[in-house]
Amino acid sequence: MRVWADPPQKKGNRVPRENIPLPCRVESLSVLSADGVLDKDLEPKLPEADLKRLYRTMLASRMLDQRCLMLQRQGRLGTYGPCRGQEATPLGVAYCLREEDWFVPTYRELPAYLWRGWPMEKHLYWWGGSELGSATPDGINDLPLCVPIGTQCQHAMGIAWGCKLRGDNTICACFVGDGGTSQGDFHEAMNFATVYHVPLVMVIQNNHWAISLPRHKQSASQTLAQKALAYGIDGIQVDGNDILAVIAATSEAVEKARTGGGPTVIEAITYRLMMHTTADDPKKYRTAEEVAEWEKRDPLPRFAGYLRQKGILDDDTEAAFKDEINAEIEHAVEIYENTQHDPFDMFRYMYAEMTPELQRQMAELKRHLETPLPAPSPREQAGDVV
């Protein structure tokens, strides 16, 4: 328990002006630079098998992401939010979690889902509009994708509080975007989490753009990590495209949370290389030159270069990974497109018991679907009416 100092005492008729010493800190961390320079003192010592699996998962996420974009363009998937360029942060965080820990995402954490055991078709279900995509697989303590900005922070805070109350040695990791830190949900969650000292790791994915709004218009703070100081906890800013830095920072934050040290804020500096979703055009609000500069920091080839230098990855291994992943994606697409979806599921799973209003809406939809369409007019049959 921190003991706060008494306020400065008056000297005569004036109050002296002095700096208040803050016990918390904000650090910056990078392990592997964009041009491949490694800080061996900070390098996390990971087993070779884990390094291979991490790379394969990052590659699988990239390939599934690309396939989803193609499916959307073909009209076989709904509006889609790509995660290209941001794979290192969620994957690095997921690596540091135990199976029984809790994971609360936004909607660009596909690599973490794959690492934690979600089948690929679940990702397709969600973006295809099926409630099956929100059904967490048995034995996995994860929440489904969350598109409303910032609301998941409150959920994560509540889960972390539950972890503390149960005393089961579990923690909760939550993701939020740079734009999400402008939401009241984020600040309310952090205020509660720090006052009650819950085991929460709050990860801010700072990808520089909240749809079309740039980072500098979100906050005047030099960093987003320093927002932690307002709540009396530590914050750290990491290179979010460097999976080694993410793992190093997260492992410390997770251990701190697990051993009763309370929450930590991690700001991961990354970049959204694609559109916010397939519903927007990023060329309208950012330059091709800016994107090209961030392409040089792409986490996938960066991690691949590191593994090649260590002799863990070669052309044959990468080709084998791609063949396996392509087969897995094809299988997932086949499952997704051959699954019969029940449109009434969107009413059934909002609450444990359906409310009267939801029952009314469900009945209205049922009547609508059972009503036969009117026969086309002669002009429509002739193709004269568009």
Would you please indicate which residues are annotated as catalytic (active-site) residues?
272, 276, 285
Which H helix or E strand runs over 142?
A: none
Cβ atoms 223, 26 nearer than 8 A:
yes
In whole angstroms, what is the distance from residue 318 CA to residue 320 CA? 5
CA quadruple 236, 241, 243, 244: dihedral sign = negative
Q: Which tokens go with 68?
A: 């989803």
Altogether, the residues listed in the chain come to a count of 386
In whole angstroms, what is the distance from residue 96 CA to residue 91 CA? 9
CB neighbour class for 349 (10 Å; exposed up to 12, middle 13-18, buried from 19): exposed
CB neighbour class for 152 (10 Å; exposed up to 12, middle 13-18, buried from 19): buried
**Nearest alpha carbon to residue 86 among 168, 175, 13, 4:** 175
Strand order in the sheet with 235-239: 26-29, 235-239, 264-269, 200-206, 172-177, 102-104
SS3 320: helix
Q: Find tokens 């990855």 and name the residue.
A: 313
Q: Which tokens go with 46?
A: 């990971």
String of DSSP letters for 173-205: EEEEETGGGGSHHHHHHHHHHHHTT--EEEEEE
Q: Which residues contact 228 (CB under 8 A, 6 or more apart)?
A: 24, 26, 190, 234, 235, 264, 265
In whole angstroms, what is the distance from residue 378 CA to residue 310 CA? 72
- The alpha carbon torsion through 22, 23, 28, 31 (nearest 10 deg) reads 170
Q: Which tokens go with 14?
A: 């004036």
Cβ atoms 258, 97 nearer than 8 A:
no
Report the Cα 110 to chain-centroid distance in Å.
7
CA quadruple 164, 169, 170, 176: dihedral sign = positive
In whole angstroms, what is the distance from residue 210 CA to residue 214 CA? 6
